[in-house]
Structure 1
Amino acid sequence: MDSWVGKTKQIFIKTLGPPVRTLQNADGEILIYADQVYKKADNTNGSPMHASNNWEYLYVYVNNEGKVTYLRNEKQNFPPQQIDASLLKGTNAISAK
């Protein structure tokens, strides 16, 4: 994923598609990509009716010049609508709701 650092936001979105959410911060913005994953007790993929779920996130930090500066992955139990932008200010912050 480090190969994306320095690329433009437009190239990133053209390749991966639009984010599910975009948050503004003092340094620019954060593009949020999310996939809801369902797992059965034996940790294999399951159906929504018979498995627990979590969200796998990709956070893409973009500076004010429109360049990708940092990417990180995270797993959480809450949906993208509950992400608090103020908790994502630093790249080392966790995205708790």
Structure 2
Amino acid sequence: MKKTIVMSAFLALFIFSCASTSSTTVAVGEAKTKVLKKLGNPVRTLNNNQNGEILVYADQIFDRENSDGSKIAGPNYWRYNYVYISKEGKVTSTRQEKQNYPPQAIDSQKMQGMNLLTAK
């Protein structure tokens, strides 16, 4: 009986520790260190001019509903979570979006030109 309870507790802990970054939220005003503890290391960090930095988190999502029933992965997209950090090390805002390009293709210079780096 004790072995079953211990194994169940261990399994539950393992499942919750593997949670996706998109399901975890951070609050405005939280310290950067707390964000890193919650979400882990970002896939990219962008310089946000004089405003601080942007931590970029990304999850690749495979859409199985639109697949043709084969074993090959269906269409996919990337779910991004941008966390804006001030110079003081506090969260100023967050933004989520879906895109078709991988995190390596994020061009901070192009985003800066389109005024996408600074949160509204």
TM superposition score category, shorter chain reference: 0.7 to 0.9
Determine what percentage of the aligned residue pairs are the same residue.
51
**CA drift at 1:89:** 2.2
TM-score normalised by structure 2 residue count: 0.66
Structure 1 residues without counterparts, runs of 5 or longer: 93-97
> Do 1:58 and 1:74's aligned partners in 2 also have CA atoms closer than 8 Å?
yes
1:35-54: CA deviation from partner (whole Å, max 9, x where unpaired)? 000003x358x998230000
**Distance of aligned partners of 1:59 and 1:47 in 2 relative to their CA distance in 1, 3 Å threshold:** farther
1:21 to 24, 30, 44: 44
Cα offset for 1:91?
A: 2.0
2 CA distance for matches of 1:8 and 1:38?
32
Tell me what 1:95 maps to: none
Distance 1:24 1:68 in 2: 14
The answer to whether the 8 A contact 1:37-1:56 is kept is: yes
Q: Within 5 Å, which residues of 2 pair with 1:52-67?
A: 52-67=75-90
Task: Tell me if 1:34 matches 2:34.
Answer: no
RMSD over aligned Cα, in angstroms?
2.3
Distance 1:8 1:21, change over 3 A: same
Q: Which has the larger radius of gyration?
A: 2
Query: Match of 2:81, as an amino acid?
Result: L
1:80 aligns with 2:103: yes
Q: In structure 1, what residue type is equivalent to 2:117? A: K
Q: Which has the higher contact order (CA 8 A, sep 6+)?
A: 1
Structure 1 residue runs of 4 or more that deviate by more than 3 Å after TM superposition: none
Change (3 A) 1:12 1:48: farther
More helix by share: 2
Does structure 1 conserve the Cα–Cα contact (< 8 Å) formed by 2:48 and 2:118? Answer: no
Displacement, 1:56?
Answer: 0.2
> Would you say the 8 A contact 1:31–1:61 is kept in 2?
yes
* Structure 2 spans left out of the alignment, 5+ residues: 1-24
